[in-house]
A and B are shown apart, each in its own frame.
Chain A
């Protein structure tokens, strides 16, 4: 038979068996590839977990550390002093208002005289600046021993010529009469280094001002007197408080020193216990013995402070009586309207201040130095503390509220500005723009993302700040709360720049959301005779609303986490913004959660309470970001029925 042999087939059993493949280290390459991809995906998760662990490890010790610090603060009596000292700070604010009122009042009479005096002195300074070189040479020549009369003569001549030319170049304000100008010119031209007395006209101007000032002070005598009395009223009380404060601080320093030495000693002893080498062990033990410091008898020392409670209360009462009296005799009239407002504010502020002082004094009795500081009050002191004070010679406070408020207000401003801009831009681009416009708008807006934030900060400092300040001074915009603004670097400025940074994120995501609205909805609406606008606002935007909301939330996340711009532009004043200013508060400076970390972390010693406090802030920031992102995802799921 010549027919070709049938193709050989492997036996059935071996077909079903897995064919032998190449293996790498005994593992199927396909699996290896799978593991490679899987491990890359898990790197992100691992890093995230590591970040959380690291943040927690550094930050979680903050609470016990801060608890210890607050304990010392209480035991050494600092807290006792602060009971009186804190409300007493209000005195400064009130007396500064009064001082302003007084000087505004005095100026109504003395301003022209003062201006003339100041202008004359300014002119004299200008002449002196311009003739500085010949004058210096002349002074040196005069001091030289033996003197060289010819040289001096030449220099005098030079100085005279320089003065003459400088005098000729001056421009004289209008309030000098022609005769006065001439006299000034003469006097300035004749200035020499030997004569230290003022020229006659300048003396006359000085005298004129002091006469006017005296006159003004007599006219507003009651106001001036009230102001002085008010300022002096704090003195006896402040004296007592300062004395107690000094004592408390001393106690605290001793206690801290003792604690440091004590921990050091314990550590040395521990090391000695595990040390094998005999000589090393001996030296460690010796060192430990030397590290002993005298322990502080807190109870005894605190008695020296609390023992004076009665005296302190008495002083507070006296102080309250004096200031109330001062408030009563505050005159109704002041030189100007603004001054009158200030005086009225003070008049109303003083009784409240006095009440506050008395209430504070009343709590002194109930204060106990040995009351333990509970961990809950420490948590409260951090999360609800209104003061963030660091590197203080008195006491550090780590209160979170000023930073949080700053961050939230800035984020709110940014979102309020960015949301309409980006959503409207997205609607326009997605629904109304021609293809050409789309090709222009989208890359341009997305390009904003590429601008380094430090550059934006620059723009904020150099451009936006000045712009806002200039605009705020326009007379027809004075109805805007907070105008004219005081600070170029403020929350509004930072909010504007952050809004600009958030726009690309919010725009792109909103645009995607609108793009994802099913075509069929638009068909249905069109077929019912809806106009373009009706379709957009009744169908497309409602259907895309979840995407738009989640875009806004993700923009918020970006804004809260942004650091560079707020650090540069927000003004960095660590205090709760003064919300009593109404909406104008947005023009006040503030500090932020992110800014404080960036600013302070580089300067604190590792492991200190301040360091740990910054990590706590980091943890909270992290939690806020997680929360915002989670909300964005939840919102996207919640309102997306057509994707279900």
Chain B
């Protein structure tokens, strides 16, 4: 990485995917992917069902490791310039740097406070004040603090679906990751909750780099700065969102945006 002072204003991409192939056993799921995720920007991954959006997202924090026989067969994934498949990479630390929010909200059956503090606790934070602070900060970021500050000890499962999902976001950002991965975070929510989370995403982009998988093209337009269009495991087009939606370079992208192929 260059130490040239002129580059300082535009820092290098926080996540780089280079020429990556990914296989589940013998079937190839991703082909030759190249992707750069810029600092403090929202990058959206769109594409039809089964195109590999989620798989690509899960490559970034190595969530695919748990699937036996799933592996990267070619190329590399760099987070902050470091190949995450290197032998000296600590998976725990990687996941601390790369947080994740799932499609279906999944708070633990614990109190709201414990949910948010969980990430810090497992990374060894024992100081009560530090935990209190982190919980307040994360809940504030997730626009939940005002709603929940009086009932932090209530069970998280008693919250509404939208609140639960925002709680999951608060939990993911409590460890202050660089990158926040979101796997269709609004697909199970009603329109109002969706709207709240979309608003939240603009706020989050100020402090975190967000990669979001979405099914909903309007959502991609609303929330993202860059959009990647995947089709059948290949990255068809990657461009600033506005450009991609108004003036797609690829025929395939255009067809998808118009809805002329199934």
Contact = CB atoms under 8 A, between A and B. Distances in A.
Contacts of B123: 529
Contacts of B122: 525, 528-531, 534, 538
B160 interface: no
A527 interface: yes
A530 to B, nearest CB: 5
Contact of B106 (A521, A529, A538): A521
Interface string B100-133: 1010101111100000001101110000000000
A542 interface: yes
A644 B157 CA distance: 10
A528 B119 contact: yes
Interface string A512-528: 00000010110111111
B41 interface: no
Interface in B45-76: 61, 63, 66
B141 interface: no
B95 interface: yes
Contact of B61 (A518, A527, A542, A641): A527
B108 A527 contact: no
A528 B63 contact: no
Contacts of A249: none
**Residue among B63, B91, B96, B109 with the highest chain A CB neighbour number at 10 A:** B109
Contacts of A518: 106
Contacts of B95: 526-529
**Residue among A525, A528, A644 with the highest chain B CB neighbour number at 10 A:** A528
B48 to A, nearest CB: 24
A545 to B, nearest CB: 10
A642 B109 CA distance: 7
Contacts of A534: 122
B171 interface: yes
Contacts of B99: 527-528
- Grouping DSSP codes into helix (H, G, I), strand (E, B) and loop, the B interface class, with mixed when no group exceeds half, is helix
B99 to A, nearest CB: 7
Contacts, number: 67
Interface in A593-644: 641-642, 644
Given A520-B106, A542-B109, A641-B155, A528 B66 contact: no
Contacts of B163: none
B252 interface: no
A523 B105 CA distance: 11
A524 B168 contact: yes
Contacts of B107: 524
Contacts of B66: 526
Contacts of B109: 521, 542-543, 641-642
B157 A524 contact: no
B201 to A, nearest CB: 18
A271 interface: no
Nearest to B100: A527
A539 interface: yes
Contacts of A542: 109-110
A222 B86 CA distance: 89
A526 B99 CA distance: 10
Contacts of B106: 518, 520-521, 523-524
Interface in A518-570: 518, 520-521, 523-531, 534, 538-539, 542-543
Nearest to A543: B109
B136 to A, nearest CB: 19
A481 to B, nearest CB: 38
A529 B96 contact: yes
Contact of B175 (A521, A528, A539, A543): A528
A221 to B, nearest CB: 72
Contact of A530 (B92, B157, B172): B92
Contacts of B63: 523, 526-527
Contacts of B168: 524
B91 A543 contact: no
Nearest to A640: B109
B102 A539 contact: no
B104 A528 contact: no
Interface in A174-217: none
Nearest to B158: A641
Contacts of A530: 92, 122
Given A538-B122, A539-B108, A543-B108, A528 B157 contact: no
B56 to A, nearest CB: 16
B245 to A, nearest CB: 30
B232 interface: no
A513 to B, nearest CB: 13
B236 interface: no
A524 B122 CA distance: 13
B94 interface: yes
B93 interface: yes
A525 B122 CA distance: 9
Contacts of B175: 528-529
B148 to A, nearest CB: 17
Interface in B146-178: 155, 157, 168, 171-172, 175
A527 B157 contact: no
Contacts of B104: 520
A527 B121 CA distance: 14
B113 to A, nearest CB: 14
Nearest to A545: B109
Contacts of A642: 109, 157
A528 B171 contact: yes
A551 B96 CA distance: 36
A147 B18 CA distance: 122
Contact of B171 (A520, A523, A524): A524
A520 B102 contact: yes
A529 B119 contact: yes
26 contacts: A518-B106, A520-B106, A521-B108, A523-B63, A523-B102, A523-B106, A524-B107, A524-B108, A524-B168, A526-B63, A527-B63, A527-B95, A527-B99, A527-B172, A528-B122, A528-B175, A529-B91, A529-B93, A529-B119, A529-B122, A530-B92, A534-B122, A538-B118, A538-B122, A543-B109, A642-B157
Given A528-B95, A528-B171, A529-B92, 12 more contacts: A520-B104, A524-B106, A524-B107, A525-B122, A527-B102, A527-B172, A528-B172, A528-B175, A529-B119, A538-B121, A539-B108, A641-B155
Interface of B: 61, 63, 66, 91-96, 99-100, 102, 104, 106-110, 118-119, 121-123, 155, 157, 168, 171-172, 175
By Cβ-Cβ distance, the 8 closest A-B pairs, closest first, are A529-B95, A520-B106, A527-B100, A529-B92, A528-B119, A529-B96, A530-B122, A524-B106
